[in-house]
Every structure is written in C-alpha cells, then in structure tokens.
Structure 1
C-alpha cells in the first residue's frame, strides 16, 4: 500500500508542467555546458546514465499507474453494467475471456452497432 501511495504521489508530481520544465532546463543546462567540458566522454556519460536510470524507473511507475487506472475503470464500468437493466450481465467478466472469445464478441457488437446505425437512419 505504501508503494501505491508513493507511486500515485510521484505520478502526480512527474505529470506536472513544472516538472517537465525542470527536466527541459536540466537538458538545456547539460547541452550548454558541453563546450565547458569539451564534449568529453564523461559529459556524455552523465546524461546517458541519468536518462537511462530515470526511464527505467518511470516504466514501473507508469505500469503501476496504468494498472490502478485500469482497475478503477473496470469497477466503474462493471457498476454501470450491473445497474443498467438492459445490459448483458455476461459483460461483467470480459477480462476472463480468451482473445478468440473477445474477438468474436467484438465482431458481434460491431454488427449490432451497424444495425443500430441503419435503424436510426430510418426514423
């Protein structure tokens, strides 16, 4: 639970325009400092190592955030399906279906959508 709170806090911080601006400022500062360090290998290694470490850690943060958002969305949609009288209750467990069954169901709903579109035009 502590990691989830930390990940949410960090995701909120890293997603702000100010954070982007600070990262951009650091990159610009690094670029401008190139002539001072004669564009040597250590100067290049600093940015390569820093960005690699940050990217590596951000992958896990993004995955945690996506998992949480996905779970929240599923719960909300499940509640809407559960409370809608005409909804197909079988749709509540879509995440348990295999890819072939999901594809067949998607085709079925595409056909229903096309039929609905044809009926709307006749009204």
Structure 2
C-alpha cells in the first residue's frame, strides 16, 4: 500500500501532465471542482480543474466537488506512472469517477 505522501506526489505529477496535455491541445474550457478519495488510506485530496489543469491541490475532501475520483493508493500510483490505463481502470472498477456525462467526455480528452 502506498503512503499519503506518495499519493500527494502522484497527484502533483498528474497535475503537471494534465497541464502539458491542456497546453498542447489548445485552450480547453473546463473549469470544475475536483476531489480524489483514496479509501484504503482514508485520505482525500481536492482542487480545481481550470482550463484542463489541476490547481490549488490540497489535502482533504470536497463533498461538493463536481468531479469525484475514487481509487486505491497503489492504483493511483500505477495510473500516474502510465502502467495502468485510465479507460481500463474505469471499466474494471479500479477507478471510479462520479461526474456528469458531459464532464466525463471532457475529462476523457485530458487523460
């Protein structure tokens, strides 16, 4: 099982990668609150997606977040490292995403 610090670092790496993807694809009008729950650690993180970039990432949950990710700590590290495909993780239930259908479609462009 990964640690909370490793998960925090992985989310920061994901934020950097999303920023690169958003920059490469031009402006993406996608501003939403985001929360990531890591149930096996009892931890959560939240921030905002702003133009396809994660900003203001901090510890703690945001129950009002428009997009909620639920993923185990080890799976989070594998996903960010590129060893776990987001689509396959979602289809198999290893990654759960609670969001509107339109937000899911926009999020898919980023990942």
Interval containing the TM-score (normalised by the shorter chain): 0.3 to 0.5
**Which has a greater percent of helix?**
1
Higher relative contact order (CA 8 A, sep 6+): 2
Name which one, 1 or 2, has greater alpha-carbon Rg: 1
**Which has a greater percent of strand?**
2
